[in-house]
């Protein structure tokens, strides 16, 4: 372990569970890379994703975005294609766009499709599915309002879902945002997760929440503080 990494690790008390405010401040202090690190959240929820009614998959609009430029493609025709282009989509098309992706082009971060295009887009399932790029109505990427979807993704909307172990991983911004903007983005995500709590989920919902920058150590939050802050 390098000197900077060791110093950063020593600033975090592994036995302590930090409040939301403390964690958002500390995660910026223990960042040591020369680039602007991304701050991620790992929230382990009291759900069993093997049960369909406890699988959480949705999206969240972060007040301050992610700090990342998002490249968006849209599968649409006619007026909807024109609306997508006007809204700022990086690539818009139908059969031609499908063919381009089948040939190996994947230079984008998110994909949107109108419902009538899903039969065509379905051909790309094996390509887009494993990369979490397949349009999905649950996260608002299969929609007739393509302009709104494009604007939201460009502004910093994030998609998330529970993994097999019940953990949700999501980015909430950059270290350069500072503690206040990171806190607002974190709260937006946590409040969204709270609203999505399945009625069949029993026991404690937020089992653990950890913040970390790309290269920095994890900062574990006090889940009692998380729950009381959200409910308050």
Distance between CA atoms of residues 212 and 42, nearest Å: 8
Alpha helices in 88-208 (DSSP H): 95-102, 118-121, 125-128, 146-155, 178-195
37 pLDDT band (50/70/90 cuts)? very high
Handedness of CA 186, 189, 192, 194 (dihedral sign): negative
CATH 3.30.190.20 domain span(s) along the chain: 12-66+157-231
CATH 3.40.50.790 domain span(s) along the chain: 72-155
**Residues 163-177: tens digit of each pLDDT:** 999 999 999 999 999
7 pLDDT band (50/70/90 cuts)? confident
pLDDT at 73: 98
1 pLDDT band (50/70/90 cuts)? low
Is residue 191 scored above 90 in pLDDT?
Answer: yes
Is residue 50 scored above 80 in pLDDT?
Answer: yes
Fold of 12-66+157-231: Ribulose 1,5 Bisphosphate Carboxylase/Oxygenase (3.30.190)
Is residue 121 scored above 80 in pLDDT?
Answer: yes
Mean pLDDT of the chain: 94
Residue with tokens 């009625």: 199
**Residues 126-145: tens digit of each pLDDT:** 999 999 899 999 889 999 99
pLDDT at 213: 95
Residue 75 near residue 111, CB atoms below 8 Å: yes
Give the neighbor-by-neighbor strand order of the sheet with 72-75: 91-93, 72-75, 110-113
pLDDT at 225: 94
Q: Which residue has the higher pLDDT, 1 or 227?
A: 227
pTM: 0.80
170 CB-near residues (< 8 Å, 6+ apart): 40, 41, 43, 60, 158, 160, 189
CATH of domain 72-155: 3.40.50.790
């Amino acid at each position: 372990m390098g000197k900077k990494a060791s110093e950063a690790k020593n600033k975090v008390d592994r036995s302590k569970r930090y409040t939301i405010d403390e964690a958002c401040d500390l995660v910026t202090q223990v960042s040591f890379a020369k680039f602007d690190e991304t701050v991620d959240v790992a929230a382990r929820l009291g759900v069993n994703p093997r049960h369909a009614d406890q699988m959480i998959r949705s999206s969240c609009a972060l007040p301050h975005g992610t700090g990342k430029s998002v490249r968006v493609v849209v599968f649409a025709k006619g007026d909807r294609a024109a609306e997508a282009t006007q809204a700022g989509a990086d690539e818009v098309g139908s059969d031609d766009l499908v063919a381009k992706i089948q040939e190996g082009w994947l230079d984008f971060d998110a994909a949107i499709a109108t419902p009538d295009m899903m039969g065509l887009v379905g051909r790309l399932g094996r390509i887009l599915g494993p990369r979490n790029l397949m349009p999905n109505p649950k996260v608002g990427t299969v929609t007739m309002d393509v302009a709104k979807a494009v604007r939201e993704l460009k502004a910093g909307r994030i998609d998330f879902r529970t993994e097999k172990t019940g953990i949700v991983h999501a980015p909430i911004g950059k270290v350069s945002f500072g503690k206040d903007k990171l806190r607002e983005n974190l709260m937006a995500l946590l409040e969204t997760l709270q609203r999505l709590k399945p009625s069949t989920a029993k026991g404690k919902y937020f089992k653990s929440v950890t913040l970390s920058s790309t290269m920095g150590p994890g900062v574990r939050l006090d889940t009692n503080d998380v729950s009381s802050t959200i409910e308050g």
